[in-house]
Amino acid sequence: MIDIERELDQAERGLPRGGAPADVLQRLARRAGEEGLVDVAYSQVDSPFGPLTVAGSERGLLLVAYPERPLDEMLTRLAEEVSPRVLEAPERLDPVRRQLDDYFEGRLRSFSEPIDWSLTHDWFFRRVLEATAKIDYGEVRTYGEVAASAGSPRAVRATGNGLGSNPMPVVVPCHRVVRAGGGLGGYTGGVERKEFLLSLERG
C-alpha cells in the first residue's frame, strides 16, 4: 500500500459518522494530486441554472453537466471511460470555474480552457463538436452549416445527435446551433436554457 493510500485508509477509520471535514478532504485531495494519483478532478460551480459539475484531466476540460445529471452516474462514466483515479479537487478546476463565472456575468466571450475529448468516441460527433467550438460568441449556425463544417453536409440528423451528446455544454456552445428556418431546435439542457444563453450573448 502506498503512503497516500495508507493515509486515506487511516483517516477514513478515524472519521466521525458525518464524514470528513472539508479542510481534511482538501488536504487529502492536494496530497493525492502531489503524488500524481489524480487523473480526473471534479468540482462544482454556481450558475444561473444551479450548480454545474465540471471535470477535467491534465489534458483539459472533460465535462460540464447541468444540475439534474446524477453525480454518481457522471463519476462512473469518468472512471470507466477516462480513469478510475477520480477525485473532487476544486483547486485543479479553478481556471474553468472562474471562466464560467465570468461568462455568466457577461465578462467573458471566449473560453481558453483546453479541451480533452476523451468522452467523445464517435469520430463524426467529435468533428461536429470541434466545429461547434469555433462558433463565435453571439453568433449562430444552422445544423446544416455545422454538418458541412464537420465534412458531411447531408448528415444533419447525425449532427443533431452529436450535439445532443455534447459532454461540455456552454463551453462547447451547442446552444449556438439552430434550425435553418429560424427555430431554436433541441438542446440537452432544455430549450429554456438555450434561450437564456442566446439572450445572454445578445446582451
Q: Where are the domains of the chain?
A: 3-104, 123-202
Query: Where do runs of H (alpha helix) occur along the chain?
Result: 3-13, 22-34, 71-81, 94-104, 123-133, 143-149, 156-164, 191-202
How large is the average pLDDT for residues 155-178?
Answer: 96
How large is the average pLDDT for residues 67-86?
Answer: 95
- Which pLDDT does position 119 carry in this prediction? 97
- Which pLDDT does position 24 carry in this prediction? 46
- Which pLDDT does position 23 carry in this prediction? 57
- Which pLDDT does position 195 carry in this prediction? 96
How large is the average pLDDT for residues 131-152?
Answer: 97
- Which pLDDT does position 2 carry in this prediction? 45
Tens of pLDDT, residues 109-122: 999 999 999 999 99
Band of pLDDT at residue 203, cut at 50, 70 and 90? confident
* Contact predicate 64/53, CB 8 Å: yes
**pLDDT at residue 10 is higher than 60:** no
How large is the average pLDDT for residues 157-174?
Answer: 96
Computed over every residue of the chain, the mean pLDDT equals: 88
How large is the average pLDDT for residues 65-76?
Answer: 95
**pLDDT at residue 170 is higher than 80:** yes
Q: Which of 147, 155, 174, 197 is catalytic?
A: 174
Which grid coordinates belong to 116?
Answer: 480533452
Residue keyed to cell 472533460:
62
- Which pLDDT does position 28 carry in this prediction? 52
Fold for the domain defined by 3-104:
Double Stranded RNA Binding Domain (3.30.160)
Label residue 29 exposed, middle or buried (CB < 10 Å: 0-12, 13-18, 19+): buried
One DSSP character per residue, 13-28 reads HT--TT---HHHHHHH
Fold for the domain defined by 123-202:
Arc Repressor Mutant, subunit A (1.10.10)
DSSP 115: B
| Residue 40 a catalytic site member | no
Band of pLDDT at residue 188, cut at 50, 70 and 90? confident
Nearest Cα residue to 77 out of 55, 58, 97, 93: 55
